[in-house]
Structure 1
Amino acid sequence: MSYTTFFQNVNQLGDRVTQTTRYEPLVINTGSGSGSAYYVTVDNSTGKQPVQTYTYLTEGEKYAVSSTNATVSDGKKAINLPASAYKWDDKKVAKYDQRHQRAWVGVVETTYKKTFINGIGLHAGRLAGRFTLIRIPDHSFMLRK
C-alpha cells in the first residue's frame, strides 16, 4: 500500500492515467522598460541544481513555470526533444503555429484514472503531472533576467 501511495513513478503509469492538452495563444509583453517586446522572461536561479523559471502571459493571466516541468521551443519544429515525451495532436500544433504565428502555449495534464489500484493509493481523480510547452517564433522574443 505504501508503494502505491508514495513511490509510484508517474512516467511509467501508462494506461492508469488520462492525458488532456489545452492550447492558448501567448500575449506579447512590451513593458518592463527594456525597450523590446517579448513573449517569455527567463529567470535563472543559482546553486547546486540551478532551475530556470519561465514567465509568460496569456489573455488575462500571467503564469510562471519551472524548467523541470516546462520547455521553450523556438525552432522550426514546434515539438522539441523534452516535449516529445508527451502525446501532441499534430494537426492542432500545426494549426496553432499558423494561426498564432508560432506564439502559443500547450499544457499537458495527466490525471489518475478512477481505478481500484489508484483508489488504494489515494490518487484516483487527482492530478499526476503537468508539462508546459511554450512556443515562440524566435529566441529574440525571450527576455533573460
Structure 2
Amino acid sequence: MASAWNLIGLLMWIVILIDLIWMIISIKKRNRRALLNQDGKSKQHHLMILIGQGTFLLVALVLMGSVYLNPSRAVSNVSIMKNYKPIVLDTNGRQSYYVNVYDSKNRLAKHDYTYLTKGERYRVPSNESIIVAGNDKVAYPMETYHSNFNRMKSLDQKYQKAWIETINAKYRPGLVNGLGMRVGHRASYYVIIRVPDHSFIYYH
C-alpha cells in the first residue's frame, strides 16, 4: 500500500522532532546541574553529550532533507504509464490546425499548446510537452522515458502522423521514496504532440 510506505518518512520526521525537543529539555537540565556542580568533569561531560546529540540531529536532518528535496526520476525509481490517442483537426474559421500555440501565463513555460482529441480540448504548457512536426529531428527530454520509436512509426501509419503520447510517471513503492513521502505521487507528466508538418501548427 503506497500510503504505508509514506508513513516511514512521516515517522522519521516525528523521531527527529522528538529528538530535538528531548535535546532542548536535556540541555536545560544539565545546565541546572552544572550551576550546582562547578567541577570541570561535569562541564566536559555536558559538552560531549551536547556534541553527540547535535551531530546525530544534524546528520538526520541532512539525510532526510536530501531525500525529501532531491527525488530521483530515474526509470528504476518510477512507474511509467504511456497512452496514445489520435488528434483531430481544429479550425479558426479559415484554416484547420492540429495544434494552437499561445503565449503562456505560466512562468515556467514560454507557450501553451491546445489540441483536440475526440471532441475534447486539452491545454498543456510547453515545459511539459513537445511538438514533433514532419521529419523534424528532435532531442527528446528525459521525461519521455525513452519513447519507443518503432511504436511511433506504427502510430504515424495508423493515424497519419496526427497523434499524441502522454507519459505519466509516478514514484514506485520503496524505502527511499517512502522516506521522501512521495510514493504514488506524480514524478513527471509529459505530452508528445505529433503533427504531419509545421503548416498544421497555428501561432496566435
TM-score normalised over the length of structure 2: 0.62
Mean Cα displacement is larger for which, 65-74 or 90-99? 90-99
1:108 aligns with 2:171: no
Gap regions ≥5 residues in structure 1: none
Is the helix fraction higher in 1 or 2?
2
Give the superposition deviation at 1:45. Answer: 4.1
Cross-structure match for 1:43:
102
Decide which of 5, 19, 22 is 2:83's aligned counterpart. Answer: 22
Contact 1:83 1:133 (C-alpha < 8 Å) held by counterparts: no
The one of 66, 71, 77 aligned to 2:130: 71
Superposed, which structure 2 residues align to 1:78-89 within 5 Å? 80-83=138-141, 86-89=145-148
Instruction: Give a deviation string over 1:43-75, Cα, whole Å, max 9, x none.
Output: 1248x9761100011113211111111110013
Q: How many residues get paired?
A: 140
Question: More strand by proportion, 1 or 2?
Answer: 1
Over aligned residues, Cα RMSD in angstroms? Answer: 2.3
Distance in 1 (CA, whole Å) between partners of 2:170 and 2:104 is 30
Q: 1:126 to 1:103 in 2, by over 3 A?
A: same
TM-score (norm 1): 0.84
Which residue in the other structure is 2:121 paired with? 62
Candidates 66, 69, 80, aligned match of 1:6: 69
Letter in 2 for 1:98: Q
Structure 1: distance between partners of 2:123 and 2:161: 20
Instruction: Give runs of ≥4 in structure 1 deviating > 6 Å.
Output: none
Structure 1 residues 23 and 83, CA gap change in structure 2 (3 angstroms): farther
Unpaired stretches in structure 2, ≥5 consecutive residues: 1-63
